[in-house]
Amino acid sequence: MAYVDGFILPVPKKNLAAYKKMAKLGRKVWREHGAIDYKECVADDVSVGKWTSFPRSVKLKKTETVIFAYIVYKSRKHRDAVNKKVMADKRLASMGTMKMPFDAKRMIFGGFKVIVT
C-alpha cells in the first residue's frame, strides 16, 4: 500500500523558472527525508472544461499555467514522519519568508490512499 500527497496550483508563466528552482529543492529535501517519489508536472494538454477542469479548479488566468505535483510515501504514517523532518529542514526555512512564485491561496492539495497500483 502507498500514500500520495497531491497538489494542483496556478503558476504565472513568467515565474516558471523560479518555481522549477523551488521544486528542485523540494524534491531533493523530500527524497532525502524518505519520500519514495516526487514529481512536478506542467500542463501540456489541459483544456478548460464546461463544468470543471484543471484550469477551472485554480481559476487559471491567461498568463498562468497549471502545475500538477505529487509526492509518494509508503503510508500516511510514513508521510507524517517524512513531513515532520522536511518541515524542520533548514534548507526550507527561507520559504516561510520568501515571496512564492505562485498564488498559494488557489492551490489545491490533499492526501490520498492508493487503491490501484
Question: How confident is the model at residue 100, as a pLDDT?
Answer: 86
Q: Which domain holds residue 19?
A: 3-113
pLDDT in tens, 3-56: 999 999 999 999 999 999 999 999 999 999 999 999 999 999 998 888 889 989
CATH of the domain at 20: 3.30.70.100
Q: Indicate the pTM of the whole model.
A: 0.92
- Look at the chain and report how many structural domains it folds into: 1
Adjacent-strand bridge partners of 11: 65
Question: How confident is the model at residue 48, as a pLDDT?
Answer: 87
pLDDT in tens, 74-117: 999 999 999 999 999 999 877 666 688 998 899 999 999 999 98
Whole-angstrom CA distances from 99 to 5, 44, 85, 103 are 23, 26, 23, 10
